[in-house]
Amino acid sequence: MQSRRTILDYKPDKIERHTLLELFRLASYAPNHHMKEPWMIKLYEDEARSSFGEKIVDSYIRLGLLKTLDEKKLQKARVSYDKFFRSVPHHALFYMEKEDGGGYIDDENYAAVCAFIQNFQLAAWNLGIGTMWTAKETLLDKVFIRDIGLSPDTHKLIAVVQIGYPNKVPKAKNRTSIQNAIEWINN
């Protein structure tokens, strides 16, 4: 848990499918209420990476996240995003089906998928495989949700996680004292 790092820079080698399957299988031992096992995953690999990246950048533009860039800089940014998306062997989109329109059951299922993602990250790290959990407003962008073949009425996107062998492992970011987060209550 302490040695895992968010990895930005990956080796080009793909991870074997049976290894990824085993990591997802291990991750599925995450706690989940009523054994809903709400996690669903789309894996973007090979040629699918560029078009997935393009859809994400289109969403950034729609959401105004790149509005400071003029047309020339935007084209440059598109090229560098494409380079990034093609530099990562696997992009995993984690999502779930909505059950109660954003109510408590959806919160429970969302929490379970987050536990699944963290299990996956730790199991992967144990095999020397790096990940980067990303989440931006794009996950709420209805056009993006439709662009990837899902429905904003029935699906909730949770994270996009980059996966691959690390090329460079960044230094650890120190955490503050955990004592600050705890209130011991005895009577």
Ligand X SMILES: Cc1cc2nc3c(=O)[nH]c(=O)nc-3n(C[C@H](O)[C@H](O)[C@H](O)COP(=O)(O)O)c2cc1C
> Distance (Å, rounded) from C-alpha 118 to C-alpha 159?
11
Size of the site for ligand X (CB under 6 A): 8
- Residue 121 CB, shortest distance to ligand X, in Å, is 8
> Distance (Å, rounded) from C-alpha 158 to C-alpha 40?
10
Is residue 32 helix, strand or coil? coil
> Distance (Å, rounded) from C-alpha 155 to C-alpha 148?
11
Stretch in the footprint of ligand X (CB under 6 A) among 12-20, 73-81, 87-95, 134-142: 134-142
Which of 153, 173, 181, 184 is the binder for ligand X (CB under 6 A)? 173
Write 72-78 long-range contacts (CB < 8 A, 24+): 78/54
113-132 binders of ligand X (CB under 6 A): 132
With binding defined as CB under 6 A, does residue 5 bind ligand X? yes
Q: Which is nearer to ligand X, 87 or 134 (CB)?
A: 134
Q: Which is nearer to ligand X, 47 or 171 (CB)?
A: 171
Pick from 9, 39, 2, 26: which is nearest to 124 by CA? 26
With binding defined as CB under 6 A, does residue 135 bind ligand X? yes
| Tokens found for residue 38 | 């709400």
Binding site for ligand X (CB under 6 A): 5-6, 132-136, 173
